[in-house]
Amino acid sequence: MSDFCPQCGHTRQARDRGRVGQCPGCGLRFSHWERTERDQREPRQLAAGHTFLPRALDCLLLTGGEAAQARHPFFWPRLIGYLALFVWGWRIACYGYRGGEIWNSWLVHLPLLIFHEAGHVFFGPMGNFMQFMGGTLMQLIMPLTCFTVFLFRQRDPLAASFCLWWTAISFMDIAPYIYDALNPVLPLLSGMTGAEDPGHDWINILSSLGMLQKAHTIAKITHAFGVLLMILAQLWGGLLLLRQFRLPASGGSDDF
């Protein structure tokens, strides 16, 4: 990065003090300035005929800007987080979809359950079918929303890959619920099974679609899709970390 400040025109001298990447004259942080300039430049580029694909690739791999010049200041904590999610994800995938073992992983299941129940309330006014479907939709919408924000707004593809991992786990969390619809034995929040409680979402959803007998097949496909999505998220995150590892260490310590 240049030592010339685009805001006040100061050029860093050897005697200047202060954080690297920040103007000692006016205090401008160059990373923030670059981010603002990039956000203002992109609409003009798109209007000039630039396609969506280069922008999408830049978001996915962050090939331009400050990330191409310095390693993320929290690289090592992020690497530890990635490795923890990698191991944890495969442990969850091995639970399968025929039982509710994943529901015992409260750190994963409980947040999804909160979003699931909120989905029933949010989609309730749209009719009975959407009320039943709303729980599943909401527990997928929330991690996908976080994914979109981190990727396109915050320009943090590694955090976005973690959110994609979360989305994959949500698909795996749904699969046992679908599988249970044909022969309901799993306990619900009411303490009863789906055979006793008429509020089992996927019994109602599949019955209304005439697909109840295909519950096991749909559950298998849902779980397999979740595993594939998790592998994609892990490969993406691993590639990003490898790219950052090859970069020089960042001068700042509070950029995130």
3-class SS of residue 29:
strand
> Quick check: 25 pLDDT over 90?
no
- CB-based contact 139:108 (threshold 8 Å): no
Cα dist from 66 to 40, 47, 126, 255, whole Å: 16, 24, 45, 11
- Please write down the long-range contacts of 211-215, taking CB distance under 8 Å and 24 or more positions apart: 212/181, 212/182, 213/182, 215/178, 215/179, 215/180, 215/181, 215/182
- What is this structure's pTM? 0.72
Q: Work out the pLDDT band at 253, boundaries 50, 70, 90.
A: very low
- In the structure encoding, which two tokens stand for residue 55, read together? 């922008």
- Residue 145: pLDDT above 90? yes
DSSP assignment letter at 188: -
Of 105-109, 154-158, 214-218, minimum mean pLDDT range? 105-109
Tokens of 193: 């099974």
pLDDT at 185: 86
End-to-end CA distance of the chain: 18
pLDDT band at residue 229, thresholds of 50, 70 and 90?
A: very high
Q: How far apart are CA 183 and CA 244, in angstroms?
A: 49
Q: How far apart are CA 171 and CA 173, in angstroms?
A: 5
pLDDT band at 235 (very low <50, low <70, confident <90, very high): very high
- Percentage of residues of the chain with pLDDT beyond 70: 71
Mean pLDDT of the chain: 81
Give the per-residue pLDDT at 192. Answer: 74
CA-based nearest residue to 167, from 220, 109, 230, 122: 230
pLDDT tens digits, residue range 116-142?
999 999 999 998 999 999 999 999 999
Q: What is the pLDDT of residues 51-94, one digit of tens each?
A: 545 555 555 665 444 445 667 778 889 999 999 999 999 999 99
pLDDT tens track for 168-221: 999 999 999 999 999 888 888 777 777 777 778 999 999 999 999 999 999 999
Please identify which residue in the block is written with the tokens 């008429």. Answer: 198
Distance CA 120, CA 213 (A): 24
Going by C-alpha positions, the residue among 164, 167, 134 that lies closest to residue 150 is 164
Taking Cα atoms as reference points, which of 141, 128, 138, 135 lies closest to residue 209? Answer: 128
pLDDT value of residue 200:
87
- Strand, coil or helix: 94: coil
In this prediction, residues 31-53 reach a mean pLDDT of 57
- Record the tokens describing residue 113, joined without a space: 């359950």
- Output the CA torsion 92→97→101→103 (10° steps): 80
User: Which of 23 and 201 is assigned the larger pLDDT?
Assistant: 201
229, 220 in Cβ contact below 8 A? Answer: no
Residue positions counted in the chain: 256
pLDDT band at 256 (very low <50, low <70, confident <90, very high): very low
Whether residue 34 is predicted with pLDDT greater than 90 in this model: the reply is no
What confidence tier does 228 reach under pLDDT thresholds 50, 70, 90? very high
